[in-house]
Each structure stands twice: as structure tokens, then as C-alpha cells.
């Protein structure tokens, strides 16, 4: 998706062959069943049977003010 993310910058959009290929690959992924599931806090996260299933998460870029916070 790197080629597609480059299109988000404030530059003239040049849709290249790599962009098209990545776009088509991403569409195929989106057409499939979701891989990540929403966490259900009513149940334990460990089933004890050794099976795994990832849960989804959310992230975002920090605002300029948030980047000034000390860590």
C-alpha cells in the first residue's frame, strides 16, 4: 500500500501501475471474511485450547500538539 499512501501527500497524483496492482490486491483482501475480530470482554481472552485469533485495534497519527508531549 506504500504506493497508494504516497498519493495522500500534497503532490500531483500520478496513478502508476504499482498503485493499480496494490489497489486490486487490497480490494481482494477486503472482499474476504474479516481476519480480525472485535474483542468480547464478557469472555476470557485465553481459551486454554491453544487456538489464536487476533483482535482488531485502532491507531492514528498524533496531532502536532500531542507530539510535543513528553514521553
| 60 within domain boundaries | yes
Reference 21, options 46, 2, 44, 8; nearest CA is: 2
The reported pTM is 0.38
| 1 within domain boundaries | no
Structure confidence at residue 24 as a pLDDT band (50, 70, 90): very high
| 2 within domain boundaries | no
Structure confidence at residue 19 as a pLDDT band (50, 70, 90): confident
| 52 within domain boundaries | yes
Spatial distance between the Cα atoms of 71 and 53, rounded to a whole number of angstroms: 31
With beta carbons less than 8 A apart as the criterion, state whether 30 and 13 touch: no
| 62 within domain boundaries | yes
Tally the residues of the chain: 71
pLDDT at 1 over 70: no
Cell numbers given for 20 = 493499480
| 14 within domain boundaries | yes
With beta carbons less than 8 A apart as the criterion, state whether 19 and 2 touch: no
Count of domains forming the chain: 1
**Containing structural domain, residue 52:** 7-68
What mean pLDDT comes out for the span 25-51? 76
Amino acid at each position: 500500500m506504500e504506493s497508494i499512501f504516497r498519493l495522500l501527500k500534497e503532490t500531483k497524483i500520478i496513478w502508476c501501475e504499482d498503485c493499480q496492482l496494490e489497489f486490486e490486491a487490497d480490494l481482494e483482501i477486503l472482499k474476504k471474511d474479516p481476519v480480525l475480530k472485535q474483542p468480547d470482554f464478557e469472555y476470557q481472552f485465553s481459551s486454554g485450547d491453544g487456538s489464536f485469533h487476533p483482535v482488531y485495534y485502532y491507531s492514528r497519527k498524533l496531532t502536532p500538539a500531542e507530539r510535543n508531549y513528553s514521553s
